[in-house]
Structure formats: structure tokens, C-alpha cells
Amino acid sequence: MTLFAVISDALLIPFYPQFFAERYGEASPWHVGAYVAFISITVMCVFPLWVRVARRVETLHILQYTQGIAAALCLASYWAPDLVSYWGLSMAMFAFKSSYLLNFPYLMRTESDETRGGTIGLLSVTAHLGVVLGAVAGGAVIEHWGVRGCVLLMALADVVQMGLCTWLIRSRRMVPVLAEDAEERTAPRRFSLTGHTAILKLAVVMLLFDFGAALVRPFFSLYWSSISEAGGEVVAGAAFAVPKIVAVCALLIHRWLTLPEQHPTRRTLANLMLGAVGLGLQAVPDMATLLIGRVLLGWALYQLVINFDVQLYQLSTPDDFGRDYGVINIFQNCGVLLASFTAGSLVATLGLRAPFIVACVAFLLAAALWLWSFPKARPAGHASALNPNPEDSSHAPVA
């Protein structure tokens, strides 16, 4: 279900400039940046509401309806006659579509401490694979059927999610996580600045991380076309998906070799630096150098997403998973929001290479903040249940 959700989201991410130019004649980089930014604003405002609903209603029951509504709104946007109506319908669609983010805290509550780390790795790779399939499929659809075809494919992915939820519920494969008696349900602790300093520090690091990762996405296909002789939307989509392909390979390598765990602080810092190098290389207007940078960035992104998620659930508790994940999600969306506005202005004023340079700086700042926020190494003999010692676990390391 997560796979189809990510595919649906990724279909148009690299191609929004072409989408708006072809369909509505709007070619301004500022407009593309504003549109992507408002997607983040919508998700940031609505997702906490879904978290509150999920305290009373089982997650799959929520998704069964919200993904169906998202599909209907997506189809309505297919026939939107002008830019204003498309904005309104698509933002409403993303409001309902964002409920799929409940999958992550839901799955964490269904897993035991021994299996939670492996599930985080599996979800990470599923998300990366979804971006690969979505970007390539989006490029192929645009080449053969035009940009409007992507909208229909997005609606189809939402329908598939609704169907999967319905099947899981009716076949009794759904794992309930809510107490049957309302009196047995424990409300999450009130979030406070003093009581959750570590989570807030992690949230700021992830804001910088997501800002840097998102900054290079909206105009990547245009940048690729400007430096590569291999034209076509499919090739651009494949180049865009290189980091996600590397992420899938990284999981296979780790599980095949069963690589030993390293200290999370040291590993996270190293991968933030590696990601910064990868982004810096992509600013070089050479196709081979750009692809090397994409590979380095992909390896770093895979490691970092898992490290951050594991760190979050080490700092949180099962009853607070949904609330704390919602807080982190707000900071992540702030990063994407800032990146969306910044990308458009950077491209309009400084050119297509500027986002890569600024993203590199953002990763370096995230590395410095991580080193300041989490400086102490955890002894190897005190691995937590969320990040178990590989020799004591039945699961291969996830990162």
C-alpha cells in the first residue's frame, strides 16, 4: 500500500514545470515552487488532524475512505478547466491523500521491539522503490500520452490503495491497535519544549535534511536536459530515480553481507557529509559527474532516512509514536516548503545549478547541528531494542 502511495506522489514530481507549461501555459519557475510549497502546507496542516482521528478510528478504516476520496478529487482535477480550479481540486486531493502517512506509526505499533528496525528498513526501501517506479512511469506516460495521463495514473494508484484497505479489513487480516474499551486508551503525553528537547533537535536536523533533499527535485529534469545529450522524459525520469535505485541496492548489499552496525551518531554524520559531496558533484555541468553525485546521494539518503527514523523511535514511546511522528512530519514539511519557494527563486535568479549548491550547504549545516545535538557515542553493548546488535537479532541490519 505504501508502494502505491509513493508511486502516486512521485509521478509528477520531476515534471511539474512541463506539466503546467503544457496544460495551462504557465512556465514560471516561481509558480512551480509555489505549487509544491502549498502541497507541503496542506499536508503539514491536515496530517495532525488525521493523527487525532486515528486515536479513535483504526488506521485502515480511515485510509479506506480517504484514499477513495483522493481518487475522486484526482479525477475531478483531470477535467479542471483552468489553473485556479486545478489548484483547488489538487490541494483537496493532497489533503485526503496525506492520510497514508498514518501507515508508518500504525506499523510501528504492530511490530515488536525485535522486528521494528527491520520494518523501518523495509518501509524505507519501499518508499525509494516507489519513487523509482513513479518517476520512470511518469516520464513514459508523458512521452506517450501527455501530462494529463499522469493524473489518471495517480487516481488509479489511490483506487488500488482503497481496494487493499478494503481487502485487509474484510479478510480479517487487519491488526487492530486501538483498545476496545475507550477507558483503556491512554492519551499521549502533552508535548512540551522542555520535555522533548531531543526530539525537537532531531526535528530541526531533519528539516535541514529534507530542505536539501527537496531543493533539487522540482527542476531536475530541466537541469538534466540542459547538460545531457540523452533527451526524453523517460531518460530524465530514470536519472532522477538513480538515488532511489541505489537505495534499493544498498538494502540488498546490507542484507547479503550482514554488515555490522556502527554507532548511529558517527554513521549519521558521515552520511550527511557524503550526501553533501553528492549534491556538490551534481552542480558540475557534466553528465558523468552528475551521475556519480546521484549515486553518492542515493547511498547517503538510504542510510539517513533509516537512521533518523530509528533515532525518533528510540526517543519516543509506543503511545506517543503518532504524536511525535506528527511533530517530525511538520518540521519535514517545513523543510520541503522552504525548499519549494527557494528552488523557484534560485532558478529564476541564479540558474539551474544553484539549487544543488544551496542543498550541499544545507546538508553541511545539518551535519554540524547533528554533531552538536547528539555528540556522545552510545556504547556498543547498550544497543537499544530499536537498533539491536546484529549478533543478537534474527534480522539483518537495516543500515
In a domain, 130, yes or no: yes
In a domain, 288, yes or no: yes
In a domain, 293, yes or no: yes
Question: In whole angstroms, what is the distance from residue 217 CA to residue 255 CA?
Answer: 29
Looking up residue 67, the CATH number of its domain turns out to be 1.20.1250.20
Q: What is the pLDDT along the chain (399 residues), one digit of tens a residue?
A: 788 888 888 788 778 888 899 889 988 888 988 898 888 889 888 988 998 898 889 999 999 999 999 999 999 999 999 999 999 999 999 999 999 888 887 877 777 666 666 677 677 778 777 877 887 888 888 888 888 888 999 999 999 999 999 998 988 888 777 754 444 455 555 555 555 788 889 999 999 999 999 999 888 888 998 888 776 777 888 888 898 888 878 777 766 665 554 445 568 899 999 999 999 999 999 999 999 999 999 999 888 988 888 788 778 776 677 678 778 888 988 898 888 889 888 988 999 999 999 999 999 999 999 988 887 634 333 333 333 333 333 333 333
Q: Could you tell me how many residues make up the chain? A: 399
Q: Supply the range of the domain harboring residue 74.
A: 2-175+196-375
When divided into structural domains, the chain yields a total of 1
Handedness of CA 221, 36, 323, 193 (dihedral sign): positive
Residues 6+ apart with CB under 8 A from 284: 290, 293
Q: Which DSSP string corresponds to 63-91? A: HHHHHHHHHHHHHHHHT--SHHHHHHHHH
In a domain, 87, yes or no: yes
Question: In whole angstroms, what is the distance from residue 319 CA to residue 326 CA?
Answer: 13
In a domain, 184, yes or no: no
In a domain, 386, yes or no: no
Question: In whole angstroms, what is the distance from residue 286 CA to residue 232 CA?
Answer: 18
In a domain, 265, yes or no: yes
In a domain, 397, yes or no: no
